Structure 1
Amino acid sequence: MRCRTPHLSRSVLHTAVTGALLAVLAALAPAPPAAAAPATISRALFGLHQTGIASASWPDAEPGTVRLWDTGTRWADVEPSRGRFDWTALDHAVATARAHHASVLLVLGQTPRWASSRPSQISTNGLGAAAMPRSITYWREYVAAVAHRYRGRIAAYQVWNEPNVQTFFTGTPKQMVQLTQEAQRLVKHYDKRAIVSSPSFATRLRTNIPWMQQWLAAGGARYVDVVSLHLYPLPTSGPEGSMTLLAKARAALAKAKVSKPVWDTEINYGAGVGGAPARHFSSASGAAYVARTYLLSAANGVSRVYWYGWDTSGPLSISLSKGGEATVAGEAYRTVEDWMVGAKGYGCTRDRAGTYTCLLRYPGSWGKVVWNPGRAFGMRAPAGTVSVNALDGTWRSARRGSRVQVSGVPVMIRTTVR
């Protein structure tokens, strides 16, 4: 029998999949080894960008957190001239997120033209936006105003977007440390519980990590609670390639003796380099990349991952919605969130044939999520199997020896034993 579960709350979904089996699972499921201390996966792992959030637009999903970027809430939008603040868009965005029980991460940069030290310099976000402020006082006034107004409503602040990419920042690593230090001081003054994130460092080009290392060497990490990365790989690579970038960034952090939580505050795939066109993905590949991203990120200690984005399009190829409706990739986002949130993650392994297995622990059962990015093959379900769950939200009853098709698209085998 093959069933499809409608998009329901997480607790209802899990009950629908396993309700008829609860008595068996409770009787047979072993306790995890005493030495294992896996963390329960939080809804905060699942972040999103929603460009229309300031107009009360909300995704057909349940993100635990949203990042305000490309949402009409940059410094230039909030303070169009010195001392004159327009809170309209930011107020609406924060209210929308909070109404859906999602925490807010606000990107504080970039520089308005009136405050810019290079007001005629071309940048991605307008003239002068990538330059240092002409006076640090302007930055202090802006950060203080935001932190004071949104105390207790904005949970986290990110200092800047991709300062190690020249189209977003043309200052030096030391200057970015100065902006970071001032932001941290003022945010914590008004809201001691707020999280201060480092600028989000790009990682895919050869010049990116050395720039971050200079920021670390200048003491930047002293002023942040979290280090944020953007793990976009090159267009020919996928989620497994993102983990290679993560390892390189982590090596740089270790060399600088920095041990802080890591967030991936933008991720998608296929973006070209140097103006090259984006790589196209099939619907199945897009769904697979979404699921593999969250599974591998959690297994590698990344505590938040913000997909870019729910309602975005253009140079990033995997869109989670079209015309307001979830795409196949959007359905995969919802499904893998349902699989993961509330479960305990026991990590992922890769065998010699390139097959990945990620282990999730539920009350009374286990989920074994399996895929192989390089080949497709059939396998026999292991002992204790009760169902096979697909990324489109459907599931079928199964038992030991049932055939399971493995491919680049993750599939979850629900079992009563590890």
Structure 2
Amino acid sequence: VSFHSVAGNGTLAVMANSSGAIPSTFFSMHINDFRTPWPTVPIGGVRLWDTQTTWGQINTSPGIYDWTKLDRRLTQAQSRGADVMYELGRTPVWAQCSSTDSTCGSGVTITCGHNGVTAAGGPGQCYPPNDLKIDGSGPNQHWKDWVTAVVTHSRGFVRYYEIWNEPDIAHSWQGSFAQLARMEQDAKAIVGSIDPSALIVTPAPVDMHPGPTWMDRYMAAGGAQAADVIAFHGYVECIGGCVPHVYPTAEDEVLLISKFKAVMLAHGQQTKPIFITEGSWGRTDINLFTDQDLRSAFIVRYHLLQGSLGIARSYWYLWDGIGVGTLWDTVNTNLQGCAGGGIPNNGGYLCPSGIAYQQVYNWLVGASPSAPCSANGTVWSCGYTRGGGYHALAVWDASKTCSNGVCATSIYSPDSQFVQYRDLAGGTKSVASGSTIQIGAKPVLLETGNVP
């Protein structure tokens, strides 16, 4: 299986692992606050994470469950026609392995990632259950009881169950590969017996460097054997360390995804679908990635490339959070949000990147990739077809940038079959035969005509 190839003329081709029209479920989302109005952009699914619905927040003591917050999320998603991925992780305080106990955990005392978060369910949630040994043996009854309870309660509402979030980060997981593989196996058996239509998603590591290596070790320990879907996170910011004004590059998705695909191939898992269960341009408080044009460019290129690489689902993080992939905000003035560029929307403001998200959804859903995304020098293009003889080509120049509302461009000569192009604001412009257009960081979609 080839994930990318470089031709002798310097052209890079990104090879997809699937064919057919791109479904609406490719575009999925995180919604942080239940009070946030449902997104006005179309989404096919939601992932429940950072939504006060984790194991530690629901199962507060043995046999005691408070389903209130989960139920309102499930009901909301169902009413909007979006399916649900539920994240199973974050061990409740009463079930945790002690931080000093190396028989069921690392034996190292650290501060877990959600210790100080209000209503997060208590400290220590990155430690494994205390009845599951470090080698994966033991009854694992706490986990079994929890999975049984949540699947029984959520049957018919949850489509996907993900085992753990970002276990390659120390403050997210202080257990072993064998423990997570056992948890995956037990979850598969329980989910299959209660709700056979629901699917198991592997733990989802993050980052370019530890992520693929972590997944390789997890699969070597027996992980992913019981899973239906392979998952990882698609962040590509701060690859060489977070530095002000060194911005994330969407084209780094090519290398990130190729690394994970190579691991899957090595372990015989290459036929399973891949979900990017979390990702965006990431945190912007250090690298200061706040330019609204560049954010719009990133979100479109991010989805174009993932679609070309055959990613089945991409869960953007997030719709309504400040500083991490924000597409909608309650106010228009947050620098980490819309930075004054939003338009009134549903009681808040839709950022320019939210408008761009809508456009790339329109471009891709129902279209079939006709040619892999490829780069000729710094100019990238991705081809698509639809019924009725429709053809389209998304193009951009990755060497160009934007600043203070001005975007640099280069000259591009479209093929004569294209008569118009669409931009990220939703506008359409005619293209005369033999003429040139200006392209830059923000992709445009050349078309042979309107969508049939």
Taking structure 1 as the reference length, what is the TM-score of the superposition? 0.85
**Residue from 273, 279, 288 that aligns with 2:297:** 288
**Residue from 171, 181, 188 that aligns with 2:185:** 181
Q: Cα 1:103–1:392, aligned 2, differ >3 Å: closer, same or farther?
A: same
Secondary structure of the structure 2 residue equivalent to 1:133: coil
- Distance across 1 between alignment mates of 2:308 and 2:65: 42
Secondary structure of the structure 1 residue equivalent to 2:158: coil
Matched, 1:265 2:298: no
Confirm or deny: 8 A CA contact 1:204 1:234 kept in the other structure. no
Aligned counterpart, 1:372:
397
5+ residue gaps, structure 1: 1-36
Aligned counterpart, 1:244:
255
**Residue from 281, 303, 306 that aligns with 2:312:** 303
Shift of 1:209: 2.5
**Residue from 308, 311, 322 that aligns with 1:313:** 322
Aligned counterpart, 2:213:
210
Taking structure 2 as the reference length, what is the TM-score of the superposition? 0.79
Confirm or deny: 8 A CA contact 1:50 1:57 kept in the other structure. no
5+ residue gaps, structure 2: 1-17, 100-108, 116-122, 132-139, 239-246, 331-347, 401-408
Aligned ranges 1:83-232 → 2 under 5 Å: 83-118=63-98, 121-126=110-115, 127-135=123-131, 136-205=140-209, 207-232=210-235
- Which has the larger helix fraction? 1
Secondary structure of the structure 2 residue equivalent to 1:239: coil
Aligned ranges 1:24-103 → 2 under 5 Å: 38-53=19-34, 55=35, 57-103=37-83
Secondary structure of the structure 1 residue equivalent to 2:356: helix
Secondary structure of the structure 2 residue equivalent to 1:302: coil
Confirm or deny: 8 A CA contact 1:173 1:212 kept in the other structure. no
Q: Cα 1:210–1:261, aligned 2, differ >3 Å: closer, same or farther?
A: same
Shift of 1:285: 0.6
Matched, 1:334 2:358: yes
Shift of 1:416: 5.5
Aligned counterpart, 1:387:
420
Confirm or deny: 8 A CA contact 2:329 2:349 kept in the other structure. yes
**Residue from 373, 397, 409 that aligns with 2:430:** 397
Confirm or deny: 8 A CA contact 1:348 1:359 kept in the other structure. yes
Encode CA deviations 1:268-324: one digit per residue, 9 max, x unaligned.
12547xxx824323111100110011110010011100110000123x3x4211223
Encode CA deviations 1:90-141: one digit per residue, 9 max, x unaligned.
1111111111111100100010111111367520122110000112211111
- Distance across 1 between alignment mates of 2:366 and 2:376: 30
Runs of 4+ in structure 1 deviating by more than 3 angstroms, as ranges, are none
Shift of 1:377: 0.8
Shift of 1:65: 0.7
Aligned counterpart, 1:10:
none
Confirm or deny: 8 A CA contact 1:266 1:306 kept in the other structure. yes
Shift of 1:242: 2.0
Shift of 1:357: 0.9
Letter in 1 for 2:393: K
How many residues are treated as equivalent by the alignment? 375
Instruction: Calculate the aligned-residue CA RMSD, in Å.
Output: 2.0
- Distance across 2 between alignment mates of 1:280 and 1:203: 18
Confirm or deny: 8 A CA contact 2:84 2:159 kept in the other structure. yes
Shift of 1:56: 6.5
Encode CA deviations 1:204-244: one digit per residue, 9 max, x unaligned.
23x33322212101111111000001121133431111221
Letter in 1 for 2:392: G
Q: Percent identity?
A: 29
Confirm or deny: 8 A CA contact 1:66 1:105 kept in the other structure. yes
- Distance across 1 between alignment mates of 2:36 and 2:147: 24
Shift of 1:173: 0.7
- Distance across 1 between alignment mates of 2:298 and 2:433: 28
Confirm or deny: 8 A CA contact 2:26 2:313 kept in the other structure. yes
**Which has the higher mean CA deviation after the structures are superposed, 320-329 or 295-304?**
320-329
